[in-house]
Amino acid sequence: MFFFKKKGIPLTDFFSDNFIDIHSHLLPGIDDGAKNLKNSLELILKMHSYGIKNFITTPHVLGDVYPNSSETIRNKLKEVQTALKEKGYLDININAAAEYMMDEQFSLRLENDDILPLKDKYVLVEMSYFNAPINLYEILFEIQLKGYKPVLAHPERYNFYHNDFDNYFKLKKAGCLFQLNLLSLTEQYGKNVQKISNEILKANLYDFVGSDTHHHHHLELLKKISTEKNLKKIKHLLKNNTNIFN
């Protein structure tokens, strides 16, 4: 029985036809993801071969490093949508939001209602891997005051929370939703991240999943998650993505 659980299954069986990936970096040349339009299409078509046909791609909006405006993101999205249509991939649906670093500039965008949500009022946010913002809970409150729902990208990757699991409960209590990176089920980000992601799963704190695809290496690693055991662990999250974001 244990062997059966470990057995690999095709990724096309792992992802349903209406699954939607809500975290990726597939727009050309605006962050650390796809380098150009050719690279964008290669990544999208590789994911299509895995059975992923619906995307809300999320370029970084990060201070002066990736100062992407909503207009920049929309223009790049249009470029990709047009190219896919021209190549005849009519069964691929791609839209765009953003992955917002919770910093001062994000607070200004929030104030000015210059936000690209995943859908409706769900906003994908992240924080530095070194430490949480001093005013984190104020920012989360501001997001909700504006009528949005904060979705924290990859909470398992914030190492500064690993030694005090209660922080995850505090974030949930503050109205934060959690998005698991699929590759956190592998050793891609280190054994500690893999371990904590399983602990968060056991505590039933995750709400959604995302591939967080940046490049081909991520897509090669994605094959590793496709086991019966993993599918059983995150099936409810895959369904949440479908039910909320389609």
Domain boundaries, given as residue ranges, for the chain: 2-245
Which one of 3.40.1160.10, 3.30.9.10, 1.20.120.430, 3.20.20.140 gives the CATH number of domain 2-245?
3.20.20.140
Rounded to whole angstroms, how far apart are CA atoms 87 and 93?
A: 14
**Would you place residue 6 in the very low, low, confident or very high pLDDT band (cuts 50, 70, 90)?**
low
Rounded to whole angstroms, how far apart are CA atoms 92 and 62?
A: 28
Q: Which of 172, 198, 171 is nearest to 184 (CA)?
A: 198
pLDDT digits (tens, 9 = 90+) for 200-233: 999 999 999 999 999 999 999 999 999 999 999 9
Element (H, E) at 177: strand 177-181
Q: Match 């799963």 to its residue by tokens.
A: 201
Task: State the pTM of this model.
Answer: 0.96
**Residue 246: CB partners within 8 Å, gap ≥ 6?**
18, 20, 54
> Between 136-145 and 104-111, two packed helices, what is the crossing angle to 10 degrees?
20
